[in-house]
Structures are given as C-alpha cells and as structure tokens.
Amino acid sequence: MNALDQLVKTLSKLPGIGSKSARRVAHHLLKADSYWVAELASQIAKLQESVKNCEICGNYTEESPCSICSDYSRDRKLICVVEQPEDIGTIELTGDFNGLYHVLGGVISPIDGMGPEELSIGRLLQRLKSGGVEELIIATNPTVEGETTALYIVNLLKDSGLRISQLASGLPAGGDLEYADRLTISRSLKGRRTLLKPKESLKSIGSPEPEKPLF
C-alpha cells in the first residue's frame, strides 16, 4: 500500500467521510501548497496536546480552568449538566444561559459499559458540596439513557436542598403545529404549561404549576 492509499484509509475513519470523500481530500492534499499542508499537519498533531478537559467542568480548553469556569461575571449559582463538551457550544450560542457547566462525558448505559462511575458525577457532587450552587439544570438528551442519567443525579441529590430542573422538550421555535412530527406533539402535550388556572388559584398565575417531587 502506498502513502496515498494509506491516507485515504485513515481519512475515511473520520465522521461523515466515506471512501470517496477521503480519496478527494487525499488528492487535494497531494496537490495543495506544501506550506499549508505542513501547517495543517502540525495543527492536527498539536490538537490533543494543547486542548484538554477543564479540571472543573470537563469542557474543552487550552487552559484549565476554562474561560467559562474562570469568568466571575457569570452566575455561579447555576450549573447546567450536559452529556458532551460540544453541548456547551450549542447552549452558549443561544446567549440565554449565563451560569456554569458540568460535562458528564456520556450517559448511564450498562449495555455500553457506561456506569455512573465512568461519568464525572462524583466531581459534580464535589462541586456542589463546596457550596454556592442553588440550581442544577439537567440538559441530557431526551433518550431513555439521558432520562436515566437525569433521574440518577436527582436521586443522589434528593436531600440536597438544591433546585433541579430539566430542559423542556417540545415544539421547535417558529415551527408550525402542522409540520411537527407526532412524537414531538405528543411530548409537548405531556409537558404542556398552564396559562390559566381555575379561579381559586388566580394569584399564582405566572409561576409554574407545583409538581409532585420525583423522589
């Protein structure tokens, strides 16, 4: 096997790149400016060495603690728990969340050999123990495993006095009911919010309906 074939094989392991695209990329690299190719190679080589996980939240960062954890203008009473570091970027893009994060590094799934001890739940508990946090927002994916992980964390913290919430799942913004899939609509129905209550509780309009606690 020559160097070109070898590169094609290596490239085709990348997500979203099949053997055809890999071949295209490899041929492109072969013809490209050699300085640029060397620069690309060195950036790739340095990546894993320079980018690490933040010692506090688990986010990708070059300096630990990361820029979010060391930003004291952020609301340190709020922690949003996510599955993967890339989820932070997604939430940050909204600009609506100004608290801190905690990356679990996956979800509980014994089938895939992922128990709670494989996740950074212990470190999350430590962070909470050191005080100052009032609310935890659990932003795991709405899958069975994401739900298991959320419930597991809630169970551990049932006596902590913390407020724990979960991201709502439902209709997409700007979406028409007509175009939403059934599952989304059925989830939105289950997670509906009250707009008007019967008369005796008029004063509580605006605050969410008190729900039975999970544990």
Partner 1 sequence: MAFSSVRIFQFRNLDDTEIVFTDKDIYLIGENGQGKTNFLEAIYLLCVGSSFRTRNESLLIKTGFREMSLTADFSDEGIIRKIQFKLDRGKKSIRIDSKQIRDRRELLAQFPCIAFTHEDINYVNGPPALRRLFINQTISLYDASFIDSLKTYNRVIKLRNKALKERRSDLLDIYDRQAAESGLEVQKKRIKLIEEFNSTFSYLFRNISGYNINLSIRYSPSWKTELSSDAVLSFIRENRNRDMMYKTSTTGPHRDKIGFYADGRNYAATASTGQIRLISLVLRASQAAFTADKSGLKPVLLLDDVLLEMDLKKRRRFLDYLPEYKQAFFTFLPDEGLVDYKESGPLYRVENGRISGEEI
Interface residues with partner 1 (CB under 8 A) are 108-111, 115-116, 144-145, 147-148, 151-152, 155, 181-183, 186, 214
Is the CB of 37 or the CB of 156 nearer to partner 1?
156
- Which backbone phi and psi does 52 adopt, to 5 degrees? -125, 180
* 90 token code pair: 């997604």
> How many beta carbons lie within 10 A of that of residue 81, not counting itself?
23
- Closest separation in Å from C-beta 196 to partner 1: 26
Is the CB of 104 or the CB of 108 nearer to partner 1?
108
* Greatest Cα pair distance in the chain: 80
Distance CA 110, CA 131 (A): 31
- Closest separation in Å from C-beta 147 to partner 1: 6
- Closest separation in Å from C-beta 12 to partner 1: 18
Query: Residue type for 87, please?
Result: D
- Closest separation in Å from C-beta 215 to partner 1: 9
Is the CB of 76 or the CB of 187 nearer to partner 1?
187
Is the CB of 92 or the CB of 147 nearer to partner 1?
147
Find, among 36, 133, 37, the residue nearest to 77 by Cα. 133
> How many beta carbons lie within 10 A of that of residue 57, not counting itself?
26
